[in-house]
Amino acid sequence: MVAAAGLSSPLRGPVLIAGGSCELGLALGAAMAADGMAVALTVRDAAGAARIRAALPHVMGTPEAAVLRLHARRPERGTVGQDFTTPPALDGADAEDDTPETLPERARAALGEAPRLFVDLLHSRFECLLAGADPADIDLWAARDIAFRARLLRAVSRSMLAARDGRCVFVSSSAAERAAPGQGYYAAAKLAGEALYRAVGVELAPRGVTACSLRLGWLEAGRGAPFLQSRAAGAPLPPTGRTVTLAEAVQTLRFLLSAPATAINATTLTCDGGFGALKPAC
Amino acid sequence: MPAQTRHEPHDIAVAIAALVAPIFDVDPATLSPSTRLMADLPCESIDLLEIGAGLNRCFAIPVRDAAAFLTDLRIHVLEAERTGEAPEARLAREYPHLSATRVAEVLAAVRVPGAPPVLTIGDVVAYVAWSLARHAGQPA
């Protein structure tokens, strides 16, 4: 006789969604709020905050939801022997300390409890042929798309470590494995992200913090939607005969955040309908 | 624990003992500022990371693990010797939370071949006290 697994609630704790104003972030935030979870979504600017409030009016009107700013400013280190410090806040009446280092505490202050679940949906936007990139843009790409993510994951995982409980999920891309021309930097950033999340899963799982990455294939949402609509009729599709839907992506992430998925740790899964397994068309 | 209101070294030491004890499943009363984390306790790198995260949370301060836990101590000494700098001056600069007396003790200990890491709870207490004074009012 097989004993029933003694799992209580499949989801636990507040969820923090970085890059929460994208279409996937909005849908995931709505789904998690519908599960009864406290939700915090990060944005880069006021336009992102407005998108969230417009898309999730019923969620954002409750104490269990918050919009937090997250900005890619560099930490400062004055002299040898001194700590890293938080740069000054942006100017303006509504300025706040919007760095990754303060994000867990800001989420705790907003939701009443530090996040136990974290989803990284931050975009990488730098796409060009590798040899065509401007050197200064390469430095900026490394700072924004790799170092910033590392700082964010460091801050969140430290907060979770202090509570000995946490789950981090990074949304990568099928381009990490098979990048098209012009996607070299994008793919490299995604691969770097996967490596960072794998490291958290390896290093912190003994203390209750696990992590994994999800490579999403073509998704009919966000920046992928206009690309898919512009493709020629008859262009190859995954074996499923269609692209990944927004609902499928949300439910996959929701499962990966759940307690039964904890053993999916320090690894990368692919959700692309099997497209990556196809032999390229002649 | 609202540790921001407890800035006296004794209170910091008590709070750190309360933070450290459950990690190693020991009685906080058995810990003191002279307890050597890496020699008297089975402390590994992930334990230091957890202690650092706990310091963040308990004291609402930013924590630079390399300074708080003297992790690059031998590198700094070697680098000072390579460049001709006085090791005492180098360590005083890298670890401004340590007193001159403690810097001398640390330097003497690190020069003993095969000696265990010198980090004590008292060193961590000194770091927290220094950081609280330096970062008063700043977010962690």
Q: Produce one character per residue of A246-264: b if its CB has 16 or more CB atoms within 10 Å, e if not.
A: bebbbebbbebbbeebeeb
* 8 Å CB contact of B139 and A203: no
Question: What domains can be seen in chain B, in order of their start residue?
Answer: 9-135 (1.10.1200.10)
Which among B63, B131, B139 is the nearest to A86, CB-wise?
B139
pLDDT at B139 over 70: no
Mean pLDDT along residues B64-78: 94
* Entry field: residues in chain A: 282
Residue A278 — pLDDT band, cuts 50, 70, 90? confident
At residue B1 the predicted structure's pLDDT band, cuts being 50, 70 and 90, is very low
Q: Mind listing the pLDDT tens digit for each residue in A185-244?
A: 999 999 999 999 999 999 999 999 999 999 999 887 776 666 666 776 677 888 998 889
| Most B CBs within 10 Å, among A80, A82, A158, A165, to test the B interface | A158
CA distance B115 to chain A (A): 24
pTM of the entire predicted model: 0.85
CA distance, residue A107 to nearest chain B CA (Å): 13
| pLDDT of amino acid A87 | 43
Nearest to A5 by CA among A261, A204, A266: A261
Partner A contacted by B135 (CB < 8 A): yes
Cβ within 8 Å, pair B62-A86: yes
Rounded distance between C-alpha atoms, residue A105 and residue A109, angstroms: 6
d(CA B129, CA B37): 18
Q: How many CA atoms lie within 13 A of A279 on its CB side?
A: 1
| Strand bridging mode A84-85 / A117-120 | unpaired
Q: List the single residue in B53, B60, B138 with the smallest CB-CB distance to A158.
A: B53
pLDDT band at A98; cut points 50, 70, 90: confident
Closest of A122, A113, A275, A277 to residue A196, by C-alpha? A122
Contact A158 B56 (CB under 8 A): yes
Max Cα distance, chain A (Å): 65
In chain A, which residues have their Cβ closer than 8 Å to the Cβ of B54?
162
| A-interface mutation test, from B19, B43, B45, B49, most A Cβ less than 10 A away | B49
B139 touches chain A (CB under 8 A): yes
Q: What is the pLDDT of residue B43?
A: 96
- Residue B2 scores a pLDDT above 90: no
Tell me the pairing of strands A65-69 and A76-77. Answer: unpaired
Residues in chain B within 8 Å Cβ distance of A161: 49-50, 53
Q: Which residues pair with A89 in a beta bridge?
A: none
pLDDT tens by residue, A44-96: 889 999 999 999 988 887 878 899 999 876 555 444 444 444 444 433 434 45
**Interface confidence (ipTM) of the complex:** 0.78
A80 in contact with B, Cβ within 8 Å: yes
Residues across chain B = 140
User: Which amino acid does the sequence have at A266?
Assistant: A
Q: Given pLDDT bands bounded at 50, 70 and 90, which one contains residue A10?
A: low
What pLDDT does residue B137 have? Answer: 53
Residue A164 has pLDDT above 70, yes or no: yes
Mutate to test the interface with B, among A68, A80, A82, A83 (most CBs of B within 10 A): A83
Residues 6+ apart with CB under 8 A from A198: A211, A213, A266, A267, A268
Per-residue burial over A151-161, b = 16 or more CB atoms within 10 Å of its CB, e = otherwise? bbbebbbbbbb
Q: How confident is the model at residue A4, as a pLDDT?
A: 46
For chain B, say whether A86 makes contact (Cβ under 8 Å): yes
Q: What is the mean pLDDT of residues A139-152?
A: 95
Query: Residue B22 — pLDDT band, cuts 50, 70, 90?
Result: very high
- Contacts A113 to B, Cβ<8 Å: none
What value does the mean pLDDT take over residues A142-153? 95
B123 — contact with chain A (CB < 8 Å)?
A: no
